[in-house]
Structure 1
């Protein structure tokens, strides 16, 4: 099957199937502009057994551009891991900006925390060690939080993406942006099911279901970008 990635055993196959092209993109555009603190987190995460879960730096560059175009000041992050995307957001919002970040794994967050502190942006971050749904529900209990956030980034459990989406649409301003990561799932969304490793099938099904639902959602404009592991960029319009 010519469209399947060259290494089906790779736990997180890159959408770019040309290593030379990926190397060119990173060396030409991404790495020369990557903040030193981001590079530190990326290097610290490389030896982590789940290091493949970290945001791709080229996707991070695109997200930084979106944050600046939006002039985002108040943001949400669901799924932090070691903090690459969190630090990237903190670096691209103003000094008085605020990020509410939630993840049940504080140990992973603390891998990147020294780099966050070194970059001088820890004051922008409210890290909450918790699954996201109860925190989102708690935010919605205060009506002052409704339509008050400019931006959200979601990189967490895929079977809850739609649950996050419904809550985030109540929190994000009209014109605000939500980005969902991993929405192409290493390209496996386009594979025949029998070619997908059994352990990956439930996650693939969750992503397929989310992609269909969000494509039908008239409350948002969307662009599914084939960068990193797939970025679905949503702009709230209703």
Structure 2
């Protein structure tokens, strides 16, 4: 059986085969592109559609979004909330929260999103009780992924969903020892270890999806 890596050509085809983003998602993308190199931190458009579909399918009441940036992932989850539901979105900086709030308002979901400033593993337990969260999405500091997984395992209810972004880390997880830059190598080593541990973690049923930069879904048992 042959396999292939999702290169730019394949990625463009995948995006063209998805429902196209609406005007609000497009506006987030356009505003984030103006930030230059930071644009690569934005949730890819095909992944945004995936997160929205997941949320609409699960209709969660409590979602934890770790890594706010310009607010796209939080908006995706908010669009699928059950009535009265809430998204808690966390970041260690508020540099881009003005961009996020502008688009949350445009999407009509600002009232159900709460921005939390500070490290998620310290702030979230004060807001969400153990076993209360329906979904936890992690797209933040890669070296802190082990802490985020531990926090999610505590806060998620049975049947809740942990979603990890960038689990392939541009392919560096395949051979971290070949990465020359120290920080990028440490990140690749951390993600590789997280991936290996989650695959055998008896608290979760785990599947890794090879699109965008790799997305792992782990359902808490």
Match of 1:41 in 2: 28
Quote the Cα distance in structure 1 between the aligned partners of 2:170 and 2:104: 29
Provide the secondary structure at the position in 2 that maps to 1:107.
Answer: coil
Give the deviation of 1:92 after TM superposition: 1.7
> Which TM-score applies when normalising by structure 1?
0.84
- Contact 2:11-2:212 within 8 A present in 1 as well: no
Q: Which has the higher relative contact order, 1 or 2, with Cα contacts under 8 A spaced 6 or more apart?
A: 1
How many residues get paired? 216
Quote the Cα distance in structure 1 between the aligned partners of 2:59 and 2:86: 13
Q: Structure 2: where are the runs of 5+ without partners?
A: none
Match of 1:178 in 2: 162
- Contact 1:82-1:112 within 8 A present in 2 as well: yes
Deviations 1:120-179 (A, max 9, x none): 110001101111121134246xxxx22111111111111221211122222111001010
Match of 1:236 in 2: 220
- Contact 1:70-1:176 within 8 A present in 2 as well: no
Superposition misfits of 4+ residues, deviation over 6 angstroms: none
Quote the Cα distance in structure 2 between the aligned partners of 1:136 and 1:232: 21
Provide the secondary structure at the position in 1 that maps to 2:95.
Answer: helix
> Which TM-score applies when normalising by structure 2?
0.91
The match for 1:121 among 83, 99, 109 is: 109
Provide the secondary structure at the position in 2 that maps to 1:127.
Answer: strand
Q: Structure 1: where are the runs of 5+ without partners?
A: 4-14
Match of 2:86 in 1: 98
Instruction: Within 5 Å, give how 1:218-229 maps onto structure 2.
Output: 218-229=202-213
Q: CA RMSD in A?
A: 1.8
Provide the secondary structure at the position in 1 that maps to 2:69.
Answer: coil
- Contact 2:176-2:185 within 8 A present in 1 as well: no
